[in-house]
Amino acid sequence: MAICDVVLMRSDTMKRTTATFSFIFFLMLSSLLVWIGLDEIAIPFMPLEDRVRLLAYPNYIAITACSIVFSLFLLCCIYSIFTAKKPSPKVWKYFYIAFIVGFLGIIPRYQLGTRVDDAGYVKCVKESRTSTTNSWRVYAKSLDLCKESSGIAGG
């Protein structure tokens, strides 16, 4: 075996190892995101319950955009593991498209807010939380369904 062949084999092994670690990292990150955000993403597409929690627009957009972008990262990592090649530079346009699609997550969130308003829900003031990092509002069919507090300091 020539020294050049050994260097090329090491390079392929390093690429696969890096891709494998990237895959594990993004798999864990995506799992966490799905665990936290899948329910929130699905709420606008479900029938209204007696109580509804509406995330702030920036939070909802962040959840939808990140879930799509991390899914693309996972696909790129899987591609790199099995082919030992990096995805082509053209793949970045798909990340831009995914981010735009995630940003369009504002539409179902807006539609949910409109449905809640049209159904005559009342705002549960003591359960709603407004902060710079995480905000939501809780609405219920009647004031009797509202709780005394969200159970979170500051909310």
Express each pLDDT in 32-52 by its tens digit: 776 777 777 788 888 888 888
Q: What is the pLDDT of residue 118?
A: 92
Is 155:128 a contact under the CB 8 Å cutoff?
Answer: yes
Percent of the chain residues topping a pLDDT of 70: 83
Sign of torsion over alpha carbons 8, 10, 16, 22: negative
pLDDT at 114 over 90: yes
pLDDT of residue 29: 74
| 128: CB partners within 8 A, 6+ apart | 136, 137, 138, 150, 155
Confidence grade of residue 17 (pLDDT, cut at 50, 70, 90)? confident
Which residues 6+ apart lie within 8 Å of 99 measured at CB?
Answer: 65, 68, 69
For residue 128, give the H/E element and its range: strand 122-129
